[in-house]
Every structure is written in structure tokens, then in C-alpha cells.
């Protein structure tokens, strides 16, 4: 496009196509990955990126103090969203991985992993097909600021970060009743979440490190580290109280991870106001138009203006006004289409009221290139 011939009239179909197909977000995400990975040949990288088509899969991190229920919530979300549940334990138990084997040996000796080894383990696992296709949920990782920075440097960016929170006294008391199913790692509680099946009850074990003293020490370590982790996720983080029934915590977490964050994509509002006579549509339209700089489009006013201006539409509409008859929908649609394709509506957006008045008119409006988006 020649810049010297500006201003250009962009076809109205173009921005709507971009908005409908999320072109801006797609290109923004691809550019972000290009800058992070900096491939020598970007073309194959971009082709692979589009083939994977995993921009919208869950990418969730769940953090929280000991006994807050983060593992339970992470496992429930994993089952509901059909995403891959990842924890330190199952990362190390991965078969046919020399990295996982090295991590297991180190953990058996030191009861912890070096940040670099942990991050490499995460990177290897997230690059596998199931994580790419179905998304992933990280349970309790990252724990430190150092781990956060290493994960971010690899381009691993969660879409949602959930932090569970509860008073320490509640967590210490809750941890004393914790029980674990050794078959699948499911966590139960002697008071709040006891399994009804006798078979499961009989095989539950008491995990290590749940005494009051040990829990208090772990809580102190958590509080020292978490204050340096949270500032890394300012736009994607949500704190949820864990001092409530586990089901309530789960549904709050599920609601959050199913929401989309505000996009940076250019957005042109196309607002349709509906309501019965006397509900205040005209006033609300005027207020919206004033606040957001939208074009105020009244269907009835358009018809009157067309007649007053003696335009070609007005000549067609005039006989219906004189006979006090309803103007046919086809004429109204042509008039609306003509108004909504004007430059001010395309550039600023619009707020419309007075149409449609019935289901048939709604179906006709839906066929327009300018469908309402609000």
C-alpha cells in the first residue's frame, strides 16, 4: 500500500474478518514466540507454530501454601479440562527420559532439585505432544523467583495463575488430617474429604511431614518465597481463599481459567441496544455514544432523515409514511446497510437501537456484514 496516497479507505470487511478470526492475537502470539526462540530460519518455525494450533489450550499454574488443597484443585481441573497434570513427582517418574532419571537420583539424595534441572525437566515435558494438544496444569511450580525467571526465559508463559490462600492456623490443623492414596496420588482428608469406598479407605497412608512443627516450618519457607514469585504474574494472577469447601474453591478456579484476558487487538464496538418501549434505550444510546465516541444510530430517526433529505431512500419511504404503514424490512435493511458502511461508523463504531423488533428482522440483521459484537 502506497503511504503517499493516504488517507486510505480500508474495506469494511477487513477489520471484521480480523476480529472474527482473531488475526491480531494470532500474529501477536507468533511474533512473541519468534522473539523468544529467535530461530535461524523463521519460516519453518512459523509453519510449525500454525500447525500446532495450541494458542487456546489451558496453560495454568496453581500455587499455594502446604495443605491449601492446590494438588486436589489441580487434579480436578485436569480431569475437567482434559489437560495434563504436572507436578514435581510425576515429572521425575517419566519413563525413558535420561533427564527424569537424573532428577530422581538427585532428589533421592538431596530432597530437592537444582532450578536449572527442574526447568529443563519442565521444558522437556511441555514440548511433548499431549501437552501441546491438550494444555497443561503445573502444580506448585515455580516455587522461587529464580525458577520463575528461568521458566520465563524459555518462553513458558501461563495463561492463568491461581494462588490459594488461607490462615496458617487453618492450614496446620487441616494438614494433620491429610491422607494419600498411593495408587494414584489422590489426596483425602479424615474430616473434610473421606472416600466412601472401603477399598480406598484401607489403602490410604499418612504422608510424611504433616506434623504441626514440620507444617509450620514449610509455611514459613513458603511465605518467604511467594512474595517474590507473585509480582512476575501481575495480569494473569488470581488469589482464591482456600478457607472454604473444596468444591467452592474448584468452581471459582474453574470459572477463572475459562475466562479470556483482555486482548490488545484493535476493537471497534458495534453495540445493539434492545428493550421494551420506555426502557430508556434512547438515553442509554446517547450516553454510550458520548462516553465512547460512537455513532448513535436510531432506526426510526434514519427513516425520518431519509424522507426529510428527499434522498432516493426517502422517495421510497415517503408513501409508507403518508399512508401510516410499516416500512418493509428490505427497505430498512438497505438503509441501515448504507448508514453502517459510512466511514464514521467503520472508524468509530456505533450503537444502534430501534431495530430489530422481531425474530425475522434479527435474522436479517445477522446477514449484514456488520454484525453487532456487543
End-to-end CA distance of the chain, in Å? 32
Q: Are residues 239 and 290 in the same domain?
A: no
Q: Would strands 136-139 and 187-189 be described as parallel, antiparallel, or unpaired?
A: unpaired
Domain end point (choices 228, 257, 286): 257
Q: Quick check: 70 and 64 in contact, CB under 8 A?
A: yes
Q: Are residues 118 and 217 in the same domain?
A: yes
Q: From first to last of the 374 residues of the chain, give the pLDDT tens digit.
A: 555 555 566 666 677 777 777 778 788 778 877 887 788 888 888 888 787 777 788 899 999 998 888 898 999 999 999 999 998 888 888 777 788 888 788 878 877 788 888 888 888 888 888 888 898 999 988 899 998 999 988 888 888 999 999 898 888 888 787 778 888 778 777 777 778 888 887 788 877 777 788 888 888 998 999 999 999 988 889 999 998 888 899 999 999 988 877 777 777 788 888 888 888 888 888 888 888 888 888 887 877 877 777 777 767 777 777 677 777 777 778 878 778 777 887 788 888 888 888 787 777 777 776 677 77
What are the tens digits of pLDDT across the range 245-259? 888 999 999 999 888
Is 232 inside a domain boundary?
yes
CA–CA separation, 350 and 282 (whole Å)? 13
Report DSSP state, residue 155.
T
Q: What is the pLDDT of residue 137?
A: 92
**All three cell numbers of 276:** 421494551
Is 107 inside a domain boundary?
yes
Q: Are residues 127 and 235 in the same domain?
A: yes
Is 154 inside a domain boundary?
yes
pTM tops 0.85, yes or no: no
What are the tens digits of pLDDT across the range 308-360? 777 777 677 777 776 777 777 777 788 787 787 778 877 888 888 888 887 87
Q: Quick check: 105 and 29 in contact, CB under 8 A?
A: no
Q: Other CB atoms closer than 10 Å to residue 215's CB: what's the count?
A: 22
φ, ψ (nearest 5 deg) of residue 138? -90, 125
Domain end point (choices 257, 291, 316): 257
In the chain, how many domains are there?
2
Q: What is the pLDDT of residue 5?
A: 57
Q: Are residues 360 and 248 in the same domain?
A: no
Q: What is the CATH number of the domain that holds 110?
A: 3.40.50.300
Q: What is the pLDDT of residue 57?
A: 86
Q: How much of the chain exceeds pLDDT 70, in percent?
A: 94
Q: What is the pLDDT of residue 1?
A: 52
Q: Quick check: 144 and 155 in contact, CB under 8 A?
A: no
Q: Are residues 163 and 304 in the same domain?
A: no
Range of the domain at 354: 270-366
Q: How far is CA 329 from CA 34, 270, 334, in A?
A: 50, 21, 9
Q: Are residues 99 and 248 in the same domain?
A: yes
Q: What is the pLDDT of residue 329?
A: 76
Is 29 inside a domain boundary?
no
CA–CA separation, 180 and 72 (whole Å)? 11
Q: Are residues 99 and 230 in the same domain?
A: yes
CA–CA separation, 84 and 133 (whole Å)? 10
Give me the residues paired with residue 353 across strands.
Answer: 298
Q: Quick check: 68 and 165 in contact, CB under 8 A?
A: yes
Q: Are residues 153 and 296 in the same domain?
A: no
Helix (H, G, I), strand (E, B) or coil at 272: strand
Is 124 inside a domain boundary?
yes
CA–CA separation, 62 and 317 (whole Å)? 62
Is 91 inside a domain boundary?
yes
Q: Quick check: 216 and 168 in contact, CB under 8 A?
A: yes
Q: Are residues 64 and 128 in the same domain?
A: yes
Amino acid at each position: 500500500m502506497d503511504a503517499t496516497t493516504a488517507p486510505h479507505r480500508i474495506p469494511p470487511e477487513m477489520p471484521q474478518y480480523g476480529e472474527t478470526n482473531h488475526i491480531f492475537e494470532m500474529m501477536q502470539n507468533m511474533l512473541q514466540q519468534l522473539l523468544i526462540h529467535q530461530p535461524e530460519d523463521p519460516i519453518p518455525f512459523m509453519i510449525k507454530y500454525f500447525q500446532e494450533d495450541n494458542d487456546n489450550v489451558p496453560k495454568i499454574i496453581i500455587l499455594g501454601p502446604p495443605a491449601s488443597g492446590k494438588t486436589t484443585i489441580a487434579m480436578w481441573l485436569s480431569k475437567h479440562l482434559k489437560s495434563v497434570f504436572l507436578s514435581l513427582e510425576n515429572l521425575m517418574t517419566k519413563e525413558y527420559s535420561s533427564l527424569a532419571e537424573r532428577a530422581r537420583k538427585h532428589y533421592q539424595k538431596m530432597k530437592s532439585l537444582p532450578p536449572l534441572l527442574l526447568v529443563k525437566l519442565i521444558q522437556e515435558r511441555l514440548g511433548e505432544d499431549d501437552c501441546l494438544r491438550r494444555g497443561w496444569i503445573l502444580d506448585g511450580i515455580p516455587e522461587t523467583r529464580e525458577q520463575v525467571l528461568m521458566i520465563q526465559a524459555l518462553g513458558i508463559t501461563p495463561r492463568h495463575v491461581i494462588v490459594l490462600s488461607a490462615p496458617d492456623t487453618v492450614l496446620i490443623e487441616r494438614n494433620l488430617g491429610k491422607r494419600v492414596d498411593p495408587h494414584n496420588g489422590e489426596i483425602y482428608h479424615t474430616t473434610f474429604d473421606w472416600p466412601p469406598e472401603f477399598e480406598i479407605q484401607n489403602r490410604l497412608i499418612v504422608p510424611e511431614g504433616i506434623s504441626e512443627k514440620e507444617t509450620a516450618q514449610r509455611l514459613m519457607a513458603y511465605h518467604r518465597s511467594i512474595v517474590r514469585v507473585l509480582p512476575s504474574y501481575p495480569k494473569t494472577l488470581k488469589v482464591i481463599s482456600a478457607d472454604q469447601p473444596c468444591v467452592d474453591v474448584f468452581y471459582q478456579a474453574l470459572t477463572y481459567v475459562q475466562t479470556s484476558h483482555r486482548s490488545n487487538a484493535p476493537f471497534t464496538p458495534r453495540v445493539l441496544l434492545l428493550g421494551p418501549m420506555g426502557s430508556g434505550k434512547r438515553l442509554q444510546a446517547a450516553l454510550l455514544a458520548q462516553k465512547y465516541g460512537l455513532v448513535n444510530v436510531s432506526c426510526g430517526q434514519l427513516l425520518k432523515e431519509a424522507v426529510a433529505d428527499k434522498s432516493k431512500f426517502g422517495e421510497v419511504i415517503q408513501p409508507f409514511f403518508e399512508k401510516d404503514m410499516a416500512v418493509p424490512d428490505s427497505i430498512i435493511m438497505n438503509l441501515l446497510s448504507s448508514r453502517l458502511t459510512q466511514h464514521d461508523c467503520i472508524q468509530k463504531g456505533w450503537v444502534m437501537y430501534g431495530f430489530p423488533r422481531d425474530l425475522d428482522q434479527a435474522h436479517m440483521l445477522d446477514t449484514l456484514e456488520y454484525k453487532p459484537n456487543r
